[in-house]
Structure 1
Amino acid sequence: MKRVLVTGATGNIGSEVVFYLSELNLKLDLTLGVRHLDSAKEKFYHIPTLQYRNFDFAEPNTFRSALEGVEILFLLRPPQIADVDTYFKPLLEAAKLNGIHKIVFLSVQGAEKSKMIPHYKIEKLILKLGFEYIFIRPSYFMQNLTTTLLPEIKAKRQITLPAGNAKFTWVDVKNIGETIALAIKNFDDYKNKALEITGTEHKNFYEVTELMSTIVGEQITYRSINPISFYIVKRKEGLSREFTLVMLLLHFLPRFQKTPNLSNEYQNLTGKEPTSLEEFIKREQQIFIGKKT
């Protein structure tokens, strides 16, 4: 039975990958690499066939046992980890030593041209080590609205970013998870390829907050600030230096780049249309309701 190890399994994307792989009802030994075994088992109690192994990006002593017997590794970068040489190089070298040949890596759209972001370096490292690979390159996550940006939305009915009028190409994490599951299922059909996964819309944050306001029924505004102010504000709020820099790059650089392309890879893989922003906000609108301070 083919063993697949899913890293980041309890996060937004990892959870969707686990869900869709389970829905496909494949003959897989689906194993989750997690830091907290008990909480992971509780989260996925409804999928009794899952296997669990202790795994931590920051603890190389967990790599060998987690990777043993694995045929396909699903790899993602936790948001708080940006140092590729410290965390990913040892992991990928351990994967190679353990006989793993196939990696599905969650990258980002445009990673091949963005030398400043960690995903570029990880892709290059995977290539250098000679793995068979599938790079999943999604566009901007709709779920950023319900995770990273949510505290300010709930507290102040506001989104503050250094993004100016830059238009982002939005995609639902559920669509990404489904794509990854199908890529794992059909690895040989897509090996050594990069798949761009997007929705069907380009919108800036002024347009998104206007749409949110209409659907939620409460005014939500967007404030664009300069990158230095953004950095200072986020560090004062307690965000780590690395995560703040990643947030800054993600939202500031698009001001000077062409609007990313729309892709039909999701439609080709699934035969379905991706989630629209309107559908997403309606689906999640209860999350945005909170007491303004």
Structure 2
Amino acid sequence: MPKKFLITGATGNVGVEVIRYLMNPDHDHTIIAGVRNIEKAKEKFRNFSDLEYVSFDFEDPATFNDALQNVDSVFLLRPPHISDVETYFRPLIEKIKEKSVREILFLSVQGAEKSGVIPHNKIESLISEYNIDHIFLRPSYFMQNLTTTLLPDIREKGCIILPAGRAAFNWIDVKNIGEAAAIMLTRFSELKNQAYELTGYENANFYEVAELINRAIPGTVEYKNVNPVRFFWLKWREGMPPGKIVVMIALHFLPRFQQEPEMSDIYETLTGKKPASLAEFIEREKDEFEFSDV
């Protein structure tokens, strides 16, 4: 039976991929992009003539009512700059419940259930508190962090600067996340009320990642391990919001005291394909890593 899906964060890395996979030629669902700027979104998705749009802003509860009208399922994520769950997510979850939206697929993070510090843990608890059918999709570390959050330091300083030490991270391509999420949305009833860790098939620390980049492109990328206090000061001086800095520290520093990430075969089970490797991702995106010698 056709459903109406609201995709939050629609123009972000993951949202774009979720929409791209949902908008396959055989789909019979209504796909709605929840965005702050509809005209810009229409330009971004100009190849998807059947995509619908609605005004939606996590920081403006006045947009929630219309955006959730007659929606069956919500693909929900946390914008990186929002860390105050009570202020921004409780009103949204309350409205989702009020509007009788039946299903939430929340893009969480691997290990969210083990760390009460990170916002993803609190959002999962909030969704469970309101007793809404859900899927918690817990992907491992995004390969695309190298081409988004960490890219300015790579381009401007020739460095990856983090408080991660030699902690191993499991790496997953956002394209794989989008595909898995799209499948889960369309098969929600058989997968609901479970958490699924979505991982690639390799763990690597940032020293190893820098070495992989250096094999693929000319020049030198160095990984600089810094302590959390220095990292906070560096990013605060650059103008990064304090809440985002704290989340980045939690996501990169805490793994130093945890076991190496476990790997799952969920992506291969859902798609019949193996997830992308780091080397494949770096080769595909190597033009992004243009930086000046320092």
> TM above 0.5, one fold?
yes
Match of residue 109 from structure 1: 110
**Could you tell me how far 1:290 is from its partner in structure 2?**
2.8
AA aligned to 1:76 is L
**Could you tell me how far 1:189 is from its partner in structure 2?**
1.2
Give the alignment's TM-score, normalised by structure 2. 0.98
Alignment of 1:222-241 (within 5 A): 222-241=223-242
**CA distance in 1: counterparts of 2:113 and 2:25, whole angstroms:** 30
Match of residue 282 from structure 1: 283
**CA distance in 1: counterparts of 2:275 and 2:219, whole angstroms:** 26
Give the alignment's TM-score, normalised by structure 1. 0.99
The Cα offsets for residues 75-124 of structure 1, whole Å up to 9 and x where unpaired, read as 00000001110000000100110111100000000111111111111101
**Could you tell me how far 1:24 is from its partner in structure 2?**
6.1
Match of residue 82 from structure 2: 81
Match of residue 207 from structure 1: 208
**CA distance in 1: counterparts of 2:13 and 2:210, whole angstroms:** 22
What's the secondary structure of 2:282's corresponding residue? Answer: helix
Is the 2:219–2:293 contact (alpha carbons within 8 Å) kept by the matching residues of 1? no
The Cα offsets for residues 137-188 of structure 1, whole Å up to 9 and x where unpaired, read as 0000000000000011011111111000100000000000000000001011
AA aligned to 1:225 is V
Alignment of 1:247-286 (within 5 A): 247-286=248-287
Match of residue 143 from structure 2: 142
**Could you tell me how far 1:219 is from its partner in structure 2?**
1.2
**CA distance in 1: counterparts of 2:25 and 2:98, whole angstroms:** 30
AA aligned to 1:156 is K
**CA distance in 2: counterparts of 1:102 and 1:163, whole angstroms:** 35
AA aligned to 2:206 is F
Match of residue 177 from structure 2: 176
Alignment of 1:42-53 (within 5 A): 42-53=43-54
What's the secondary structure of 2:167's corresponding residue? Answer: coil
Is the 1:154–1:292 contact (alpha carbons within 8 Å) kept by the matching residues of 2? no
Is the 2:158–2:292 contact (alpha carbons within 8 Å) kept by the matching residues of 1? no
Is the 2:166–2:256 contact (alpha carbons within 8 Å) kept by the matching residues of 1? yes
**Could you tell me how far 1:199 is from its partner in structure 2?**
0.5
Identity of aligned residues (%): 51
**CA distance in 1: counterparts of 2:24 and 2:238, whole angstroms:** 39
Match of residue 127 from structure 1: 128
**CA distance in 2: counterparts of 1:189 and 1:285, whole angstroms:** 39
1:151 aligns with 2:145: no
Is the 2:68–2:96 contact (alpha carbons within 8 Å) kept by the matching residues of 1? yes
What's the secondary structure of 2:89's corresponding residue? Answer: helix
Aligned residues: 293
Is the 1:101–1:131 contact (alpha carbons within 8 Å) kept by the matching residues of 2? yes
1:163 aligns with 2:172: no
AA aligned to 1:112 is E
Structure 2 residues without counterparts, runs of 5 or longer: none
**CA distance in 2: counterparts of 1:25 and 1:208, whole angstroms:** 38
Superposed CA RMSD in Å reads: 0.9
Structure 1 residues without counterparts, runs of 5 or longer: none
AA aligned to 1:199 is G
**CA distance in 2: counterparts of 1:28 and 1:62, whole angstroms:** 23
Q: Which runs of 4+ in 1 moved over 3 A?
A: none
What's the secondary structure of 2:138's corresponding residue? Answer: strand
